[in-house]
A = this chain, B = another copy of it.
Amino acid sequence: MQSGQDNKTHISFVELSALLASIFERHGTSPEVAAILANNCASAQRDGSDSHGTFRIPGYVSTLASGWVDGKAVPEVKDSAPGFIAVDAKNGFAQPALAAAHALLLEKARTNGIALLAIHNSHHFAALWPDVEPFARDGLVALSFVNSMACVVPHGGKQALFGTNPIAFAAPREGHDPLVFDLATSAIANGDVQIAAREGRQLPEGYGVDRNGQPTCDAKAILDGGALLPFGGYKGSALSMMVELLAAALTGGNFSFDFDWSGYPGAQTPWTGQLLIVIDPSKGAGNNFAQRCEILVRQMQAAGQPRQPGDRRYRQRAQSERDGIAIAAEELARLRALAGQP
């Protein structure tokens, strides 16, 4: 269905997902990996993510072409302890590694009350919220941490060391979609700096440094050998450090500064690790966690907070489910070309 304004087209989730799977498979993934990545990416597009939807497809294709990532990797799941699963993603993507351990992780969380999934040797090039939301839909609480590639200067430092290192959290909410947040521990996303540079806009203070490690509001100076700053000063920096330790050191994965992709021109996916912690709140003293969560949200609304984490995504998701997923006609044509479709 072609809509007049903005040259936007609408496509169903199933159709977009199938199209993206064709692209992945045509560019070197196994059918299994293609299906998982396509579902992940189509979900982001459905939910209105400009940065993690189909916008990412050229990056996936370019990385696969470079040989940097193994699109056919079969993750190896190791049941390390009653509450601990370690997965070697075998230089493949993180999402198939999570999928391979998902059922075991659920079972362990329910049996033990808490369980951990440590993924290493993995590439994460997507949003983090799709990894945690499903656990909250099953009544569990999930936390995830993933490190990426050196582009954030530790607080008070001069050189990039940390990745944008997001933290995602999901909790069930009685009678509503889960409460989910997914926040980078950097002050701003790299993509937003690029947009500001293109538009010649100054950034607010505290977002980045230039190539000499000096604070700057000039987006071009940040991109030209500079780096981002953590959000919230030394506190965000401490949290970013924690993400490096949990997602890389604890899993056996690379730190954000560990890997060298200079021999793989076109590579864009960080080769690091990911940690998930899943908790069964029914083991707690209250045993009414989703109700308490809902009470907190109502109090946040009563305190005047205009929007809860995840609200915008769910609104866009509902609209996409009603009208189809909005996508620029040119973008859809480019995707079809990448899939080899006429």
B interface footprint on A219-257 (CB within 8 Å = 1, 0 otherwise): 000000000000111011111011011101111110101
- Give A contacts to B, CB under 8 Å: 78, 80-84, 86, 88, 111-116, 118, 120, 141, 153-161, 167, 169, 171, 179, 181, 183, 185, 213, 231-233, 235-239, 241-242, 244-246, 248-253, 255, 257, 277, 279-281, 283-287, 289, 292-293, 295-296, 299-300, 302-307, 309
Interface contact B284-A114, CB-CB below 8 Å: no
Assembly CA distance A304 to B212 (angstroms): 11
| Smallest CB separation, A223 vs chain B (Å) | 19
Interface contact A304-B248, CB-CB below 8 Å: no
Interface contact B141-A113, CB-CB below 8 Å: no
Given contacts A81-B111, A171-B245, A257-B299, contact A277 B277 (CB under 8 A): yes
Q: From the candidates B213, B233, B249, name the one contacting A281 in the complex (CB within 8 A).
A: B249
Which residue in chain B gives the minimum CB-CB distance to A121?
B285
Interface contact A283-B81, CB-CB below 8 Å: yes
Assembly CA distance A237 to B303 (angstroms): 13
Interface contact B296-A81, CB-CB below 8 Å: no
| Smallest CB separation, A181 vs chain B (Å) | 4
Task: Decide if the interface of chain A is mainly helix, strand, loop or mixed.
Answer: mixed
Assembly CA distance A257 to B235 (angstroms): 24
| Smallest CB separation, A128 vs chain B (Å) | 13
Interface contact B84-A251, CB-CB below 8 Å: no
Looking at A120, A154, A156, the one whose CB has the most chain B CB atoms below 10 A away is A154
Q: From the candidates B179, B255, B284, name the one contacting A252 in the complex (CB within 8 A).
A: B284
A sample of 6 cross-chain residue pairs with beta-carbon separation below 8 angstroms, ordered by A number, consists of: A118-B283, A118-B284, A169-B238, A232-B236, A245-B293, A245-B296
Q: From the candidates B86, B161, B236, B305, name the one contacting A299 in the complex (CB within 8 A).
A: B161
Assembly CA distance A248 to B295 (angstroms): 12
Known: A80-B284, A161-B299, A171-B245. 20 other contacts (CB 8 A): A82-B82, A82-B83, A83-B112, A112-B114, A114-B114, A116-B279, A156-B307, A157-B303, A158-B304, A169-B242, A183-B238, A231-B233, A232-B233, A237-B305, A245-B292, A245-B296, A249-B286, A251-B285, A255-B292, A255-B295
Q: From the candidates B115, B286, B299, name the one contacting A250 in the complex (CB within 8 A).
A: B286
Interface contact A245-B154, CB-CB below 8 Å: no
- For A118, what are the chain B residues with a Cβ–Cβ distance below 8 Å? 283-285
Assembly CA distance A300 to B155 (angstroms): 9
Which residue in chain B gives the minimum CB-CB distance to A143?
B242
Which residue in chain B gives the minimum CB-CB distance to A181?
B238
